[in-house]
Every structure is written in structure tokens, then in C-alpha cells.
Amino acid sequence: MKLLLLLAGACVIMDQLSKAIALAWLSPGDPVSVVPGFNLTLGFNEGASFGMLSGVMSGRPLLMAALTGALTLVFAIMALRTKSPLESAGLAMIVGGATGNLIDRLRQGAVTDFLDLYWQDWHWPAFNGADIAITAGALCILYAAIPTRRQKETKVD
């Protein structure tokens, strides 16, 4: 349980520190080119991940925070109950990332995004460190669910 808290906490700290730096150094609508295909671009998301539901949730930060908080609690309970260390780590990363975004919603009514991947004129929706933690956590869970991995973990127990 301590390792899960440390992992989730590390995700929250990494996310909040990177967002604080972005808020201090970047201006909305003024992208900073890092390398071709990657900019730092400050933006704010009132919706779910990658801007989904932003129209529906616009002006309703407490509703979005409540939904995020409820889902975070569900994932935290799942992390404590699973027997798979990889699933547990993945769920802890999701909890940490979701908590980082929840802090933004409660503090400023929207999530701070600043990472911008693009190809020519096509831009992926801006994202942040919390979104990276959530995505990495989901990939850990998917990898742990591969049948051959599942069988090996069961045999070890």
C-alpha cells in the first residue's frame, strides 16, 4: 500500500510542478516551439480528457470535479484490491493523474494543458503530465491483462 501511495503521490507532484512551471512561463495562445512536431502551448480544458465533453461541462467545474473524484475513488479501491502488481501500479498512476487534474478543477475550474503534439496542420488535443500518467497506467493494466502474462503471474503466486 505504501508503494501505491508513493507512486500516486509522485504522479500528482510531477503533474502539479509541471503545470506550475507552464502557468509561470507560458501565455495562452502563444506557442513555444520545442522541436518539430512538439510545442508548449498553454490552454485550459473544462471537459474530460483531451477536451471531450467540454461543451457539456463548460461552466460546470464542480460537476466535473465530482465525477472525477468519484471515478478516482473507484480506481483507488480497485488498486488496493487487485492481486497483480502491474495492475496495481497502473491503477495508482491513474489515481495520481486523476488527482492532479482534480486539483486543477477545484483550484481554477479547468485543467491546465500545455503539451502540444502536431503533424503539419493537425494538432492532437493539448494535454499534461496527469494525462501521461493516466495513459501509462491504462497501458500497464492492458499489458497485465494479456493472457500469457496472466498465466505466468498466477503460477508465481
Return the active site residues. Answer: 113, 131
How are the residues of the chain apportioned to helix, strand and coil, as percentages rounded to the nearest 5? Answer: 65, 15, 20
Q: Euclidean distance between the first and final Cα of the chain, in Å?
A: 18
Question: Distance between CA atoms of 19 and 110, rounded to whole angstroms?
Answer: 12
Q: What are phi and psi of 71, to 5 degrees?
A: -65, -40
Rg value, the chain, Cα: 17
